[in-house]
């Protein structure tokens, strides 16, 4: 029991991941230290007050609802349903959307969502674990720029060699 409590404490105080738990209706019930650090809200500002959809880019949530509606051939409402629909059906779901901090700044986040169920398999809430994806996006962008520059240099070399062989 002591080990389980220590493990739970380590998870909830993790600074590297946002851990957000909701009730079955999608209202935040738990907001760990990592979520506070990442998003700039204190737990008391969000617990029992807002849904995780309120910290996501609303345009992206609407786009996700449309995409899932097409993919799954059923109407999915924008808002928390768009985030939790797959998890509520037992489908593994990990997505990338933009989180919006309390100060209005934005960052790309990768979020995994799981339905929490009671002993009778009824959904009692959802668990969202997120991580800031900014560094990976920056590295990806720099890599793409470097690849484009290398491709351009390779084409210039090929053009130069081709023009020299015609002289």
CATH of residue 94 = 3.30.450.20
Q: What is the pLDDT of residues 52-104, one digit of tens each?
A: 999 999 999 999 999 999 999 999 999 999 999 999 999 989 999 999 999 99
Q: Say if residue 46 is in the same domain as residue 84.
A: yes
Q: Say if residue 47 is in the same domain as residue 95.
A: yes
Q: Give domain status of residue 49, yes or no.
A: yes
Q: What is the pLDDT of residues 17-58, one digit of tens each?
A: 999 999 999 999 999 999 999 999 999 999 999 999 999 999
Beta strand 93-100 with 123-132 is: unpaired
What's the rounded Cα separation, in Å, for the pair 107 and 38?
9
Q: What is the pLDDT of residues 92-140, one digit of tens each?
A: 899 999 999 999 999 999 999 999 999 999 999 999 999 998 755 555 6
- Per the structure, the complete domain to which residue 154 belongs is given by 134-167
Q: Say if residue 51 is in the same domain as residue 67.
A: yes
What's the rounded Cα separation, in Å, for the pair 76 and 24?
16
Q: Say if residue 156 is in the same domain as residue 108.
A: no
Q: Say if residue 123 is in the same domain as residue 149.
A: no
| pTM given for the model | 0.78
Burial class (CB in 10 A: 0-12, 13-18, 19+), 135: exposed
Q: Give domain status of residue 1, yes or no.
A: no
């Amino acid at each position: 029991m002591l080990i389980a409590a220590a493990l739970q404490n380590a998870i909830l105080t993790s600074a590297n991941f946002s851990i957000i738990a909701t009730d079955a209706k999608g209202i935040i019930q738990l907001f760990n230290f990592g979520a506070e650090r990442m998003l700039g809200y204190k737990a008391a500002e969000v617990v029992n007050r807002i849904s995780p959809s309120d910290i996501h880019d609303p345009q992206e949530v609407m786009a996700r609802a449309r995409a899932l509606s097409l993919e799954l051939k059923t109407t999915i409402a924008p808002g928390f349903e768009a985030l939790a629909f797959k998890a509520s059906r037992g489908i593994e779901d990990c997505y990338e959307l933009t989180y919006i901090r309390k100060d209005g700044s934005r960052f790309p986040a990768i979020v995994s969502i799981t339905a929490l169920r009671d002993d009778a398999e009824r959904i009692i809430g959802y668990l969202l674990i997120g991580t800031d994806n900014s560094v990976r996006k920056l590295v990806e962008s720099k890599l793409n720029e470097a690849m484009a520059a290398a491709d351009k240099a390779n084409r210039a070399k090929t053009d130069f060699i081709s023009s020299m062989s015609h002289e």
